[in-house]
Amino acid sequence: MKVNTTRLHFLLFFLPCLLFSTHFSVDGSIEEEEEEIKRADFPHVFFFGAATSAYQIEGAFLEDGKSLNNWDVFCRTQGSIENGDNGDICDDHYHRYLVFDVAIEPFVTIHHHDFPQELEDRYGSWLSPLMQEDFVYFAEICFKSFGDRVKYWMTINEPNLFAEFAYERGIYPPARCSEPFGNCSIGNSDVEPLIAMHNMLLAHGKAAKLYRQQFQAINWSLNIFGIITVAKGTFDTVES
């Protein structure tokens, strides 16, 4: 399933079986030397893994009481997705794969760009402070339902990119933007990404606080980009 954009990023982490080191031969040409990597080269607490998105792999459209999410609706909007593709089946991960059966340690992301369409229709999803409370409510359900099996949680996947794609450029649902950033029927690319980011950050903080107070110590994650100033002045350092 491919969104109509050249800047769609899908995050996939992996380590290859072979590592190539480069050096120069006597005649000046570049040679590649294969070096075998063994599991013993890494500490026992080192995790190998891959990041996946529920809507890109999960399938199970409207099964087990699931309602329409924002991507279900977006994919059925003509012109949104190439070839009219959707996530009804995808890799059918919902039916085919049980991570614990193959000794996979799950790292669960609570919000990976999809949420119930009802929240968009009712109050505008991340443009409303109400979304903060519904996110925390959903997070609490996840903690209670899966906390005995999930040790590692991530709140919101790449909120900066979600704000950009959904509310600045309009290539993710709810497809809101304004010129010159995009050609949407509704939206404000100067203001709405900031509102959405504000609500996502507060929702993250509330969910993290809930877990720490009512459940257990945890490894939390929120996609963060560091900003380092080039100038040496105190003002520039504080601003960065």
**Within a domain: residue 208?**
yes
Secondary structure, 3-state, 66-99: CCCEHHHHHHCCCCCEHHHCCCCCCCCHHHHCCH
Using one digit for the tens of pLDDT, what is the confidence trace for 137-161?
Answer: 999 999 999 999 999 999 999 999 9
**Within a domain: residue 212?**
yes
**Within a domain: residue 197?**
yes
Look at 56-60, 116-120, 121-125, 188-192 and tell me which has the smallest mean pLDDT: 56-60
- The mean per-residue pLDDT over the stretch 216-234 comes to 56
Using one digit for the tens of pLDDT, what is the confidence trace for 79-130?
Answer: 999 999 999 999 999 999 888 888 889 999 999 999 999 999 999 999 999 9
64 is written with which tokens?
């087990």
User: Domain containing 121: what range?
Assistant: 105-239
Please, are residues 203 and 155 in contact by the beta-carbon 8 Å criterion? yes
Handedness of CA 45, 46, 48, 52 (dihedral sign): positive
**Within a domain: residue 41?**
no
- The mean per-residue pLDDT over the stretch 47-67 comes to 90
- For the chain, how many structural domains are there in total? 1
pLDDT at 45: 87
Q: How confident is the model at residue 216 (pLDDT cuts 50, 70, 90)?
A: confident
Averaged pLDDT of the chain = 83
**Within a domain: residue 28?**
no
State the Cα–Cα distance between residues 5 and 168, nearest whole angstrom: 13
Query: Coil, strand or helix: which one is 154?
Result: strand
Using one digit for the tens of pLDDT, what is the confidence trace for 5-26?
Answer: 433 333 333 333 333 444 455 5
**Within a domain: residue 189?**
yes
| Parallel/antiparallel/unpaired status of strands 18-24 and 30-36 | antiparallel
**Within a domain: residue 113?**
yes
